[in-house]
Chains A and B, each alone.
Chain A
Amino acid sequence: MATSLELAQQLKAKFGDLISEPAEFRGELTVTIADAQRIGEVAAFCKAELGFDYLVDASGVDNYGEDPRWSLAYELFSTTKNVYLRLKTHVSEEKGELPTVSNVWRTADWHEREVYDMMGVRFIGHPDLRRILMWEGYPYHPLRKDFPLAGKPTELPEVAFSKTTPMEGGPFVTVSGGKDSAAREPRIRIPED
């Protein structure tokens, strides 16, 4: 039975410099794909040759203030070999798009729609790239780091509206590692502090 390290090395042997050295963190392996535009062929190889038949999750990260701004992570699992592998790739803010993997794993359809809805990263070749959580016509991508926690007012007649949420001095945030429950309970913490 192949371990995820062996499978990651097979992936690197096939694609060479496109794939980074497998990085291990807490027993989980991550490989980074240097060119996001080639995610399609890597994904197809992972499924067809390495047996990663299950895409557990696909998600986006906003590294606001850094370049490239967007990180995409694909959590793969093989139901036959019982191993996990994480693919990561980066997309710059100017580019803002990468090929879909929904033609490899059908479940990526909704995951990519969520990334598009929340982050605004577009997926080339996606069969149905509409918003999935917010309504059609909502003008923002609310999980971007430069989107305020309280939201922004919008108005789409007959469809939906939104208002800015009163924060009442908040946001109220917990911090980990407090000595007792009084130190751990949510307090007003302004992000600039």
Chain B
Amino acid sequence: MTQNAELGYNTKVEGEVVHTRVDAAINWFRKNSIWPMPMGLACCAIELMASGASRFDISRFGAEVMRFSPRQSDVMIVSGTVTYKMALSVKRIYDQMASPKWVIAMGACASTGGMFRSYATLQGVDNIVPVDFYVAGCPPRPEALLDALLKLQEKVSKEPVISVWKKAS
């Protein structure tokens, strides 16, 4: 039986030793357990819940652990309309998240204010926090969110780690 090197690693080949770079290893750990902070503010949150449920199953990509504490989460999924009344709370929760941290703006409202061009609505959450990925849709289907998550994993896997730590210390 042939083995697929992508899916299963045969530890016998190199005497139970795996060679890699520290950056690559750390990013591999990170990208496969990105815990979301579900900032569910409107109907997009329903699709976010669907993404977490069995049919779409976000846990296939290691992101099923919705953390309602900003201290334990890695990516804030802003799913819904950000009102001016909520805006500073969103910003504060983002500030409380530990680095490294990312933001997905899910849906038209979180990305641009959507159809709510009014006195009450922040015109895009990127006015207050840096957004990594914008998901189109009103609301987006769970597949679209999962696509953003996969793109985020790709982005995370390319980020420098050690050089950033060195700079910080």
Report A's interface with B, CB cutoff 8 A.
133-135, 140, 142, 147-152, 158-163, 165-168, 170-171
Distance A162 CA – B86 CA, assembled complex (angstroms) = 11
| Minimum CB–CB distance for B85 against chain A, Å | 5
Nearest Cβ in chain A — how far from B96, in angstroms? Answer: 15
Q: Tell me, yes or no, whether B11 is within 8 Å of chain A by CB.
A: no
Q: Judge whether B43 is part of the interface by a CB distance below 8 angstroms.
A: no
Interface residues of B in 110-144 (CB under 8 A from A): 113, 117-121, 123, 127
Whole-angstrom distance between the Cβ of B110 and the nearest chain A Cβ: 16
Main secondary structure of the interface of A (DSSP, over half): loop
Contacts of B84 on A, CB cut-off 8 Å?
135, 160-162
Whether A150 contacts B117 in the complex (CB less than 8 A), given A163-B123, A165-B123, comes out as yes
Which of B85, B121, B123 interacts with A134 by CB under 8 Å? B85
**Chain B interface bracket (under 10, 10 to 19, 20 to 34, 35 or more):** 10 to 19
Find out whether the CB atom of A167 lies under 8 angstroms from the CB atom of B88.
Answer: no
Question: Does residue B87 face the partner (Cβ distance < 8 Å to A)?
Answer: yes
CB of A151 within 8 A of CB of B85, answer no
Bound complex: CA A171 to CA B118 (Å): 10
**Cα distance A147–B118 in the bound complex, in angstroms:** 11
B85 touching A165 by the CB < 8 A rule? no
B38 to chain A, nearest CB (A): 22
Q: Is A161 in contact with B87, judged by CB distance below 8 angstroms?
A: yes
CA distance A148 to B85 in the complex (A): 19
Q: How far is the CB of B116 from chain A (nearest CB, A)?
A: 9
Minimum CB–CB distance for A161 against chain B, Å:
7
Query: Is there an interface contact between B118 and A160, defined as CB atoms closer than 8 Å?
Result: no
CB-CB < 8 A to A167: which residues of B? 117
Known: A165-B123, A166-B123. A159 touches B117 (CB 8 A): no
